[in-house]
Every structure is written in C-alpha cells, then in structure tokens.
Amino acid sequence: MKALVYAAKGQPRLEDRPKPTILKPTDAIVKMVKTTICGTDLHIFKGDVATCDTGRILGHEGVAVVEQVGDNVGLFKPGDKVIVSCITSCTTCANCRRGMPSHCTNGGWALGNTIDGTQAEYTRIPHADGSLHLAVESASDNAQLMLSDTVPTGYECGVLQGKIKLGSTVAIVGSGPVGLGALITSQLYSPLQIIMIDLNEKRLATARSLGATHTVVSGPNVVEQVMKITGGRGVDAALEAVGIPATFELCQKLVAVGGTIANLGVHGTKVDLHLETLWDKNITITTRLVDASSTPMLIKLVESGKILPEKFATHTFAFKDIEKAYNIFGAAEAHDCLKVVIEF
Ligand SMILES: NC(=O)c1ccc[n+]([C@@H]2O[C@H](COP(=O)([O-])OP(=O)(O)OC[C@H]3O[C@@H](n4cnc5c(N)ncnc54)[C@H](O)[C@@H]3O)[C@@H](O)[C@H]2O)c1
Ligand SMILES: [Zn+2]
Ligand SMILES: [Zn+2]
C-alpha cells in the first residue's frame, strides 16, 4: 500500500509499505476513506515532537471502513463506517478509568506518533473498541473527519479547560482549525464576547462567519485593541491555539483578573512565564492533550446541525497527491487553506 512517511525534518514522502495486519485480538484493520493533515503534523516536520521517529507513517485523523477485526473486538464488524479517534484508549488502564485516555498507558496519542497512522491506505487500530466511533449516515464525511481531533481539541482543551460560560469574555489566539473548533463549540455556552486573533485576515473573516464577535489582526497593538473591546478588563478565558512562545506570552497579557489561560498549542521550545505580573491576578493556567472523550457527544451535535465543522474543509486532494497537500497546508496563508481533505 501507499503511505505518507515522516522521512526527515521537512520531508513528507509517499512510500510503499506493507499492508498492516492484526497483531493483537483487540486490533482492527481499517481501510481509509478520508484523512487530513493536522497542525501537529507540521510540528513533527519541524522536529518539535520528540516521540515521533523518522520512518513513521503520519496521520491521526480519519473516516474509514472496518476491513477486519481481531477476536476480542466487540463493538465493530467488517463493513462498519467509523471515525478514527486521534486517541487510542484501552478503556481499562488507570488513566482511561479516570477519564484521561490521552495518557492511556497502552495507547494515548499513538497513531502517527509512536505507531503508524492514518495517512495510508490501511491503518491498524489497536484497542479498536475504545478508539473508533461508528460514523452516522445523516452527517457528511467531511464533518465527521473534523471529529477525530480538531473539534474535540478546541472543545476539551479550550472551551472546557478555559471554563467558558454564560457571559464570559473570550480571546482565542490562533484562528486555525483548532481555534475555530473552540470558536464553534464555545458559542453553545453563550459567552458575551469571542475575540479571534490571527495574523491571517482570511482566517479572521472565516471566524466572523462562524460567530466571532470581534477579530483582531495580531500585531503591535493587539493588547490595546483587546483591552478596548473588553473595557480595560482583559478576557476571562485566553485560549492559546498556535503553539509558539509569542502567542503564549500574548495570552498572559490578555487574561483578566480571575481568568484562565488555556493552552491548546503544541510547543517545541520553552516559553517565559511572567509571574512578576501574574502572581497576584488569581489566574489559572491549564494544559491538556486532547482526550477525544467528547467525540460521541460531538457526533450528536454534528448530526443535529448544531455545529457545522465541514466548513473547515477548504481543499480536497486525492491521496496520491498528499505531498502536494502538505505543501499547500504548510503554506496555508498563501493558499487560503484551512483544512485539507485527503480522499482515498
Ligand atoms: N493539545 C492538543 O491535544 C492538540 C491537538 C491538536 C492540535 N494541537 C495544536 O493546536 C495548534 C493549532 O492547530 P491548528 O491545526 O489550528 O494549526 P494551524 O497552524 O492551522 O493554525 C495556527 C494559526 O495560528 C496563526 N498564528 C501564527 N502565528 C501567530 C501569531 N503570532 N499571532 C496570532 N496568530 C498566529 C496562524 O496564522 C494560524 O491561523 C497547533 O499547535 C497544534 O499542534 C494541539
Ligand atoms: Zn492533531
Ligand atoms: Zn488505557
């Protein structure tokens, strides 16, 4: 089969690989229908993700059809259409049992990181019962593709960790798919203001069309502008959805007294924490690897039309052109690209 491999820093390469086989009775083999590229895959190519070795087949998102199941898989059978979760969950280890499958001791974020992932014609899914979800017929594949990682990350790491509630003021730094995932799910809690911040005006226009109350182009006056919008208070929830020091430092300047900085971004370098200005502000800082435990609920929201994440899909490529898709996604601004859909 063909597979997209992390060949070296900056080098995505389509290679021939053997088709995966069942290794354990809890495994399933799925035939990919659609996959996509995540901002995190770009971090891997920058060398930011130490756990991912060269030679790895990338990808941790997808809609697929079950091809084969091991003897101990109870919830799925060949022919089922499924959403592949970016988190592999054994459901029985101590971390799975305490609701933190992101740190499952037998899985966690494994696909496209520590084991071969979904940017391939076939993928082996360990602990299939805890790591796949039945897709629904009444929602599009593109909408459900966003439920592997993008929307659960925005919701769990951003909206839930940021404690967004009725009347909150919110700033989301980074209007990429993950930031937009936080934008569309935060509205279900009726915050007063949602200020989206990005360098890219097109992405901010998308944010406005998806419900942002304010947008600010990131630049030297960004703090001043947010203070003006919030009457000088700052925001109750500052969500960092980029993954670079500058944006985490920006969140420290935007957070109001008593507020929360919720970090979503994957960081590859150290960031300064300004306790000299924050020590007396009663703030909370959260970090989280997505658990994707909200995916079953998000499937219902998509099915009922309450959220429309298919709007994140801007480009479609055939799998044979995935190297090109990486180039386009890597220069997203120049191509007005948000999320690429890769079809098999
Ligand atoms: N915590 C988790 O479990 C988890 C899961 C998935 C993704 N992520 C991470 O979330 C982050 C966002 O993912 P994405 O797919 O949306 O990425 P993305 O690269 O598509 O989006 C990032 C956005 O940040 C903007 N940006 C860059 N520099 C900026 C600056 N100085 N000020 C304001 N905006 C700036 C870019 O223009 C872009 O729109 C990434 O770091 C990704 O690795 C984390
Ligand atoms: Zn991801
Ligand atoms: Zn587990």
pLDDT tens digits for 92-135?
A: 999 999 999 999 999 999 999 999 999 999 999 999 999 999 99
Cα separation of 195 and 179, whole Å? 11
pLDDT of residue 189: 98
Ligand 1 neighbours by CB, cut-off 6 Å: 38-40, 43, 149, 153, 157, 173-179, 197-200, 203, 218, 241-244, 246-247, 264-266, 288-290, 332
Number of neighbours of residue 344 by Cβ within 10 angstroms: 18
CB distance 267 to 244 below 8 Å: yes
Residue 320 CA, distance from chain mean position: 24
Q: How far is the CA of 81 from the centre of ligand 3 (A)?
A: 23
Strands (E), the chain: 2-8, 11-16, 28-36, 62-69, 81-84, 122-125, 132-134, 169-173, 193-198, 214-217, 235-240, 255-263, 284-287, 313-318, 339-343
> CB within 5 A of ion ligand 2: which residues?
38, 40, 149
Question: CA-CA distance, 68 to 20, in Å (whole number)?
Answer: 11
Judged by its nearest atom, the ligand closest to the C-alpha of residue 266 is: 1
Element (H, E) at 96: helix 94-97
| CA nearest ligand 1 atom 8, residue | 265
pTM of the model: 0.96
Contact 271, 248 (CB under 8 A): yes
- Helix 222-229, helix 245-254: angle, nearest 10: 30
Which atom of ligand 1 is nearest the CA belonging to 289? Answer: 3
Contact 312, 180 (CB under 8 A): yes
Q: What is the pLDDT along the chain (344 residues), one digit of tens a residue?
A: 999 999 999 999 999 999 999 999 999 999 999 999 999 999 999 998 999 999 999 999 999 999 999 999 999 999 999 999 999 999 999 999 999 999 999 999 999 999 999 999 999 999 999 999 999 999 999 999 999 999 999 999 999 999 999 999 999 999 999 999 999 999 999 999 999 999 999 999 999 999 999 999 999 999 999 999 999 999 999 999 999 999 999 999 999 999 999 999 999 899 999 999 999 999 999 999 999 999 999 999 999 999 999 999 999 999 999 999 999 999 998 999 999 999 99
The closest residue, in CA terms, to atom 15 on ligand 1 is 39
Report in angstroms the alpha-carbon separations of 166 from 110, 188, 189, 258, 303.
36, 9, 6, 16, 24
- Ligand 1 centre from 174 Cα, in Å? 6
* CA of 29 relative to ligand 1 center, distance in Å: 31
pLDDT at 268: 86
* Ligand positioned closest to the Cα atom of 93: 3
Residue nearest to atom 27 of ligand 1 (CA): 242
Whole-number pLDDT of residue 250: 98
Contact of 14 with 2, CB cutoff 8 Å: yes
Output the pLDDT for position 48.
Answer: 87
Three-class DSSP labels, 119-188: CECEEEECCHHHHEEECCCCCCHHHHHCCCCHHHHHHHHHHHCCCCCCCCEEEEECCCHHHHHHHHHHHH
Question: Across the strands, what pairs with 196?
Answer: 172, 215
Reference 86, options 149, 133, 34, 39; nearest CA is: 149
Buried-exposed string 218-241: b where 16+ CB fall within 10 A, e elsewhere: beeebeebbbebbeeebbbbbbbb
Pinpoint the alpha helices (H) of 230-317.
245-254, 275-278, 295-303
Residue 146 CB: number of other CB atoms within 10 A? 31
Taking the CA of residue 196 as centre, how many other CA atoms within 13 Å lie in the half-sphere pointing to its CB?
A: 30
CA of 99 to the centre of ligand 3 (A): 9
Residue nearest to atom 34 of ligand 1 (CA): 198
For residues 238 and 263, the answer to whether their CB atoms sit within 8 Å is no
| Closest residue to atom 33 of ligand 1, CA basis | 198
b/e for 275-294, b at 16 or more Cβ within 10 A?
Answer: eeeeeeeebebbebbbbbbb
Token reading at 317 = 């490529």
In whole angstroms, give the CA distance from residue 21 to residue 18: 9
Helix (H, G, I), strand (E, B) or coil at 200: coil
Ligand 1 pocket test target in 150, 178, 333, 337 with most atoms within 8 Å of CB = 178
